[in-house]
Structure 1
Amino acid sequence: MHEDLEQRLDDAEEMPAGPARTAAFAEIARHADAANEDVASFRARLAQLDAAMLTSQYHVALALFPRLLQDVDADPARFDDGGQLIVTFPTLLTGATCFPDVPLERLRELEEEFARRGAAEGLAEAEILSGRLNLALATGELDRARDLLDRMSNPWSGHFARCEHCRVREWLYFHWYSDDLPSVRETGRRLIDGRLKCTRYICHGLMEPFALRAFALNGDDEDAVRFYRTSVRVLKAEPHRVHVAGLTATFLAHVLTRGGVPALCADSATKALRQLLRRAVHYLPNVSPDDRMQFLTAAALALEALTAAGAPPALPWPDGDPLADLAGDAGRADPAPLIAAMNAEAERLSLAFDRRNGNDFHVRLRRRDQAFAFGEDAPSGADASPST
């Protein structure tokens, strides 16, 4: 490989996670193509795939994946992915669901291709079922998801047999999607307070945001605020995590609606929410329709709560975005049009996803967030979590 390309790959690896790092690998791949350095091009695109997946740039990952698979299939010795593609494939299934124009039939085809390739590469049954589970959860097939989890866990095999973190994490996701709040609290405590770590991978994403609502609605404000502070620390270092920003913003809107909680006063929540929204909107051009839908849902709730508190911010919406003209100083002076537009777009997207999936899953998730933010769900008191 040309020394200049090697150095550029090393330099890009050292960049912080984010869209700029993804773009840097894309530029290296273009230079490698121009120089007819096919192995360097493959390595750059493989690194670009990893960078895109870390920042949920699923549109980039989905465009890269078929060519990478084609290269490996054609000459596995020359284009050695080190097993990265089969490891990435289950998360890519989730990524493919984030675009409502990807038909359900195509998602099923991708699921079966993953299962076929996984079996050929020796993945354990639970590892293959985990990929299928990703798709079931993302499309709201909760009965199928429960069946897959039962099959995975009787008995756990492969990586899951060795990793308590990943076993508990799969259950946490299922309980969150199915709105089983007592089980979210139990699995959340086991995963977060038990400091469980994956035995294979460095990062599996942040779990604390998925526990915020369950603890807040149970009256466990101290724990909820503790998990919130962890989420904020990660967001300051990795502000491109728009989905995490949305979950965190919804929690802060809930706190504001309640007039603050003992561990987080209303003034502090107001300041934190304004800062969070201003940072997060910058990354909207690089997110999937699903992440945009979830963030717009949360941002509309947050802005409404801030308006009620007399503190609507001037959001620096990206130029060229359909909502940009309603934001900024105009949105601070009169937030109502921006709030209405965010709600309308998020509702359109949720309906589009539900038409594709054949259910009302995303609409129900939106209603759930709205009820939480506006205090329609009251803290229920003592925790009576059953064991999982």
Structure 2
Amino acid sequence: MTAAAESIRALFDEIDRTPWGPRERALVAEAVARAQESGDARLEYEARLRQTSSANMIGDTDLMLTSFAWCLAQHDADPERFPAELEPAGDLLWQYKWMAGALRGSPEFSSEQIDAVLDDMEEHYHRAGVGPSGAMMARFEDAWAAGRIDEAAALRERLEATPRDEYSHCDACVRSQFAGFFAETGREDETIRLVEEMVEGGFTCGEEPERALALALLPLLRAGRLDQARAFHLRSYRLARENPDNLTIIADNVVFCALTGNEARALSLVEKHLRWLAHDGLNAEAHQEAFAAFALALDAVTRAGHGDTPVRGSDAAELAPLLGGREAMLAASELASLCWARADEIAAAFDRRNGNDAHARRLERTRALEREHYDVPLSSSGFSAPAAAPRERNLAERIERAQVLAAVGTPTAIDALADVLDDADAADRVTLTFALLRALVAEARHGDAAAVLEARVEALRALGRDDRADIEAERGPALFGVDDEVARRTLDAHPDAPADLTAHLLTVIAFRHLVENRLDDALDASRRARDLYAREGDIERTHALTHLEADVRRAADEPERALEVLDALLSEDTVAPGRRVRLLMDRATIQDALGEPRRGADDADEAARLLLVWDVDDHAVASALSLGAQLAERAGENDRAVAGYRVALQRLEATGEPTTGLLYGLGRALLAAGAPHEAIEVIDDVLERETAANEAPGSRAITVGLLARAFEHAEEWGNALRAWEITADLHVEAEEPARRASALVARAHLLGRLGEEDEAVETLTTAVAAARTDPDNRGMLADALHSLAQAKAQRGDDDALAMLDEALEIGRADEAGWLVADLLDTRARILGGTGRIDEAVANALQAADGFLAAGGAPQAGASELLAARILRDTERIEEAAAVLRSAHEHAEGQEQLRQAIAIDLGDALEALGRHGEAAEVRSTLRS
């Protein structure tokens, strides 16, 4: 073998290991080019077989047809040198199944050309001794697509009676095709049945089950099975959204959103996938479906009152051949009209070729869907509020808004302050220039600060404040920075400075004390400054110094006292809006630290409301909304958190700043709110962004771990197992053995739930080995040993107790009371299962004592229930009753556990002949 041939075959190996997509496509193109350069036709044949498959999977019809035609010519000329089947390169006869579909997808190809391909396919199959199933399916698909419904129905029945062979469509594809045919011909119950069979059986293929799930959406809506339709939509879209060849699947999902009151999501999907129309110029059939679906959705957007919303991407240059060139984005209503027109043109072209009106009738059925509506709310974003023109404000309002922006510290504060200076009177100019100078000095804009200082000095003199004007003119803009040495020198040089200037200098010094953790000095300086401002009647500065006292209390780890200060300030009506925003944000974080996240969320949301009232920058609004969402999430108000994250995302996206962190929070909140399918979609977006940004593997591992939990909640077990595996691998890359062990334990728990006991034990054994390499995380080793012991006990292994005892040794050495109690409870269960009754009971009661000591009364009750049942099963009823009495007391407030204990206690008392006590206990049971 030549060196060139060796390098090409090495490239083939890499191609065969690479998933479909841009990288795989580039590798295939390189292989074809290298084979052509080498002059080896056999190598080129192998490369082009791969190219045909690649082009089919990514939706490049032109390349697929060209590549296939070249390979077919080589095969027909020399079948021995160029065999039809050449694994893993490809199978020419299998690829034949794609050709008729490719031709019928474009009206540029005549019916005669399509028939010739079908005849040629049958001839090649017959010559190769292949059964008729594959060719018959191709004829069925052609008849159905061309609107020859009776012919298609007859072929479908023949297919069901035809024996399957190696060239038959796979189970997933057959079910999906028949499901789509049934949906079009009014047998929607059969559509649902077939798709449910696919889902329950786990049937998959290249575009399945996402295509079948999409086909079932409308039948499910019409059958009133709305929750199932919602779940199918979210899963179908998530699986289809990365491949432009899935345009018709996206179209079905867009229709679903349009019919279910989710017009904003429909618009979002149109914007995301509009450019896909330019992906495959020969797939006009998909274009018709997509244009019609997009038009239907945009009409729904218009009826919802948002027809003037610009559709992002509608001005893309690549869409010019389809929508016409334009410099500005089209409004939703305008794009709807264009989409209907394009769909009509394509349908007419197909009908001219096919000699009927089948495509026009399909288009009319899509138009008629606007009369159908189903209420299927999704946790999706609403329409972004259009950017309103700034309302006209009078001078007083402009001044107050500038002061709000300055207090909040937004980037636009400087411009807002400068904008009102010329119109303000001398008193307001003094206040405004103070804020403006501080902002300019903070940004090191010293030249601008010098000019503003001149205007400030002039305003001070106009008010008769020559004493302060003289000092500020002498000291310059540095007086308005945070340099405490400047402040001290000024105080020393001017002991008789005006009270308000002395207060300002003391404030600077107080901040320096706070930064350097000299908290008593900070408190003393801030109080002296506050008293001076109060005597001068400067309410805002008085409030600012009181706020500073709260900061000092927080730094001193006195959150309750800080909260008292903030509560008192916020109760005053005279607090300025900007100051109130900062107070609310600070109080929100303190409330959360003190275990009141719901109250904190209320404060953050109120801060966001005030920011919106004053048209403050989107970044500041997003920060407040994000904090409110995080605190609502911690308070268990997950729907509220989802809403907060969504609006925060809209606001932050408007600034052009990164939103990955917010998106992660949204995914987490969606999962907690019981929307796992949508959570998967969002978390997957986060992972794509992190991967593209080459984020650290440890960071990506956290994201994939959250994705794994979402897959579990969505009952997508295979995806969940794979995600946990990837999480563990990323933690290896990040050199985080304890976290790797944690991911492996999670994977093993899922394997156990699925009945895969041997693989669970194997995975947990690996987790224990990983945990042993991290001596700083002994708790993780104990957890892994605990899980391994449980899995081994479930399987009946003799060494389960040895694993548990090692974990107990760690827990006792680390004085981890709760862990020890939990391990003792598990030990009791294992011992009870092996007939070691006295030891089991003793361990269960020790576990109960441990839980009680750690504050876990309900857990103690559960361990006591375990001990009682072990005693009961060995006829030790008297002892069991005594333990159950104690358990009943400890289960107070845990209704399900309490009732289980009450039932057992009543039975035990009845067995002991204590009927009155039994009746009394049973009277506590709920009916």
Q: TM-score per shorter chain, which class?
A: 0.7 to 0.9
The alpha carbon displacement at 1:13 in A equals 4.5
Matching of residues 245-284 of structure 1 within 5 Å = 245-256=250-261, 266=262, 270=264, 272-284=265-277
Q: What SS class does the counterpart of residue 198 from structure 2 fall into?
A: helix
2:105 equivalent to 1:110? no
Q: What is the aligned partner in structure 2 of residue 352 from structure 1?
A: 349
Gap change, CA 1:241 and 1:14, over 3 Å in 2: farther
Q: What is the aligned partner in structure 2 of residue 260 from structure 1?
A: none
The alpha carbon displacement at 1:68 in A equals 0.7
- Which letter maps to 1:73? D
1: distance between equivalents of 2:53 and 2:66? 13
2:303 equivalent to 1:308? yes
- Which letter maps to 1:41? E
Cα displacement string for residues 274-321 of structure 1 (whole angstroms, at most 9, x for unaligned residues): 332233123222221221222111112222222333454533244142
The alpha carbon displacement at 1:62 in A equals 1.6
2: distance between equivalents of 1:161 and 1:59? 25
Matching of residues 31-110 of structure 1 within 5 Å = 31-80=34-83, 81-82=85-86, 84-110=91-117
Indicate the structure with greater helix content. Answer: 2
2: distance between equivalents of 1:161 and 1:290? 24
Structure of greater Rg: 2
- Which letter maps to 1:146? A
2: distance between equivalents of 1:378 and 1:275? 19
Matching of residues 155-194 of structure 1 within 5 Å = 155-159=162-166, 165=172, 168-192=175-199, 194=200
Which of 231, 237, 243 lines up with 1:238 in the alignment? Answer: 243
2:343 equivalent to 1:343? no
Q: What SS class does the counterpart of residue 161 from structure 2 fall into?
A: coil
The alpha carbon displacement at 1:324 in A equals 5.6
- Which letter maps to 1:78? R
Q: Is the 8 A contact 1:301 1:370 kept in 2?
A: yes
Q: What is the aligned partner in structure 1 of residue 233 from structure 2?
A: 228
2:190 equivalent to 1:195? no
The alpha carbon displacement at 1:89 in A equals 1.4
2: distance between equivalents of 1:244 and 1:166? 14
Q: Is the 8 A contact 2:182 2:188 kept in 1?
A: yes
- Which letter maps to 1:74? A
Q: Is the 8 A contact 1:274 1:313 kept in 2?
A: no
- CA RMSD in angstroms comes to 2.8
The alpha carbon displacement at 1:58 in A equals 2.0
Cα displacement string for residues 57-109 of structure 1 (whole angstroms, at most 9, x for unaligned residues): 22221222211111122233333443612112123211110110111111111
Q: What SS class does the counterpart of residue 100 from structure 1 fall into?
A: coil
The alpha carbon displacement at 1:32 in A equals 2.2
The alpha carbon displacement at 1:48 in A equals 1.4
2:291 equivalent to 1:296? yes
Q: Is the 8 A contact 2:195 2:213 kept in 1?
A: yes
2: distance between equivalents of 1:378 and 1:306? 14
Q: Is the 8 A contact 1:314 1:329 kept in 2?
A: no
2: distance between equivalents of 1:27 and 1:37? 15
Larger relative contact order, structure 1 or 2 (CA cutoff 8 Å, min sep 6): 1
How many residues get paired?
360
- Which letter maps to 1:209? A
The alpha carbon displacement at 1:135 in A equals 1.3
- Which letter maps to 2:159? M
2: distance between equivalents of 1:16 and 1:183? 34
Gaps of 5+ in 2: 375-927
1: distance between equivalents of 2:372 and 2:203? 32
Q: What SS class does the counterpart of residue 79 from structure 2 fall into?
A: coil
When structure 1 is superposed on structure 2, of 8-17 and 352-361 the one drifting more is: 8-17
Cα displacement string for residues 138-171 of structure 1 (whole angstroms, at most 9, x for unaligned residues): 2121111111122222253325999755553443
Normalization by structure 1: what TM-score? 0.83
Structure 1 vs Structure 2: percent identity of aligned residues? 22
When structure 1 is superposed on structure 2, of 84-93 and 181-190 the one drifting more is: 181-190
Q: What is the aligned partner in structure 2 of residue 211 from structure 1?
A: 216
Gaps of 5+ in 1: 257-265, 380-388
Q: Is the 8 A contact 1:235 1:245 kept in 2?
A: yes
Q: What is the aligned partner in structure 1 of residue 31 from structure 2?
A: 28
Q: Is the 8 A contact 2:144 2:181 kept in 1?
A: yes
2: distance between equivalents of 1:203 and 1:104? 26
Q: Is the 8 A contact 1:314 1:328 kept in 2?
A: no
- Which letter maps to 1:228? H
Q: Is the 8 A contact 1:56 1:95 kept in 2?
A: no
Which of 308, 314, 317 lines up with 1:319 in the alignment? Answer: 317
- Which letter maps to 2:267? R
Q: Is the 8 A contact 1:23 1:48 kept in 2?
A: no
- Which letter maps to 1:131? A
Gap change, CA 1:28 and 1:126, over 3 Å in 2: closer
Q: What SS class does the counterpart of residue 260 from structure 2 fall into?
A: helix
2:138 equivalent to 1:131? yes
Q: Is the 8 A contact 1:19 1:286 kept in 2?
A: no
- Which letter maps to 2:250? A
